[in-house]
């Protein structure tokens, strides 16, 4: 006698199989909050006026650091290395896999060419600092791309120098089951408009998150859910 599997069970199985094949796994926002707070406390460069400066940083870490809130980022990016990255950024230099584990790249905007920090890390496609970082990353890893400010609309997302191709290059190189990726920003570039449309463009390529301090506590949320942008990721209504 041939056993019959209920249709509902088949559908559920196929859906789960699809998720496994795609390697879909969300990054834990508590982990991102801890990571972002660590960056802010130990890496954040300053302007000559002493205010927080724009910079971008990317790091690859073991998967546990993106799902287990008890994993400590300092174990894979210690304070000595973080101090080195901060020193390089404060003097206008880049971190080109400059840490002991060769798992971090970072840059401020290029003052000579006006190239934005995100673009500095992602281009030229095929020979960028991001390409070099991904070549070092293990198959089972989590890659986090952090920008202090949200990518500006006019240059980072709409101009000929936009970062979207660089983001696609990143994700296309990581189409292996179990790999996690996150694009995280902290502050909103206050001159931008129509962020809902532009943030969706990023999230279509790589999951977009915002981490921001609220009463000195870092909180993170995924920016786009069911094609709707969470107000947490948008400027406060005046």
State pLDDT tens for residues 131-149: 999 999 977 789 999 999 9
Domain region containing 106: 26-233
What are the beta bridge partners of residue 187?
149
User: Is residue 131, in this structure, part of any structural domain at all?
Assistant: yes
pLDDT at 46 over 60: yes
Predicted confidence at residue 153, as pLDDT, reads 56
User: Is residue 15, in this structure, part of any structural domain at all?
Assistant: no
What are the beta bridge partners of residue 217?
214
In the chain, what's the furthest Cα-to-Cα distance? 80
- Model pTM score: 0.86
Confidence of residue 192 (pLDDT cuts 50, 70, 90): low
CATH at residue 112: 3.40.140
Q: Number of folded domains in the chain? A: 1
User: Is residue 5, in this structure, part of any structural domain at all?
Assistant: no
Look at residue 88 and give its three-state secondary structure: helix
Whole-angstrom Cα distance, residue 24 to residue 211?
Answer: 21
User: Is residue 4, in this structure, part of any structural domain at all?
Assistant: no
> How buried is 77 (Cβ within 10 angstroms: 0-12 exposed, 13-18 middle, 19+ buried)?
buried
Confidence of residue 93 (pLDDT cuts 50, 70, 90): very high
Looking at 5-19, 57-71, 219-233, which range is the least confident one? 5-19
Q: Between residues 152 and 141, which one has the greater pLDDT?
A: 141
User: Is residue 21, in this structure, part of any structural domain at all?
Assistant: no
* Rounded CA Rg of the chain: 19
| Residue 98 and residue 85 in contact, taking contact as beta carbons nearer than 8 Å | yes
Whole-angstrom Cα distance, residue 143 to residue 184?
Answer: 11
| Residue 102 and residue 58 in contact, taking contact as beta carbons nearer than 8 Å | no
User: Is residue 3, in this structure, part of any structural domain at all?
Assistant: no
Cα dihedral 158/163/169/175 (nearest 10): -90
């Amino acid at each position: 006698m041939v056993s019959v599997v209920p249709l509902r069970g088949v559908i559920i199985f196929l859906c789960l199989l699809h998720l496994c094949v795609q390697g879909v796994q969300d990054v834990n926002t508590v982990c991102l909050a801890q990571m972002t707070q660590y960056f802010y406390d130990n890496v954040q460069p300053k302007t000559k006026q002493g205010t927080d400066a724009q910079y971008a940083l990317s790091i690859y870490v073991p998967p546990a650091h993106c799902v287990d809130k008890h994993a400590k980022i300092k174990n894979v990016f210690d304070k000595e290395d973080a101090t080195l990255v901060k020193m390089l950024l404060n003097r206008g230099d880049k971190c080109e896999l400059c840490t002991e584990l060769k798992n971090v790249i970072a840059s401020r905007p290029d003052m000579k060419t006006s190239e934005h920090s995100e673009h500095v890390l992602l281009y030229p496609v095929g020979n960028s600092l991001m390409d070099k970082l991904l070549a070092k990353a293990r198959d089972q890893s989590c890659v986090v791309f952090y920008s202090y400010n949200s990518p500006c609309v006019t240059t980072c997302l709409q101009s000929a120098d936009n970062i979207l191709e660089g983001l696609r290059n990143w994700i296309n190189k990581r189409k292996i089951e179990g790999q996690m990726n996150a694009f995280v920003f902290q502050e909103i570039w206050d001159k931008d408009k129509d962020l809902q449309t532009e943030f969706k463009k990023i999230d279509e390529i790589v999951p977009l998150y915002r981490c921001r301090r609220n009463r000195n506590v870092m909180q993170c949320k995924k920016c786009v859910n069911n094609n709707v942008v969470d107000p947490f990721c948008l400027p406060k209504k005046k």
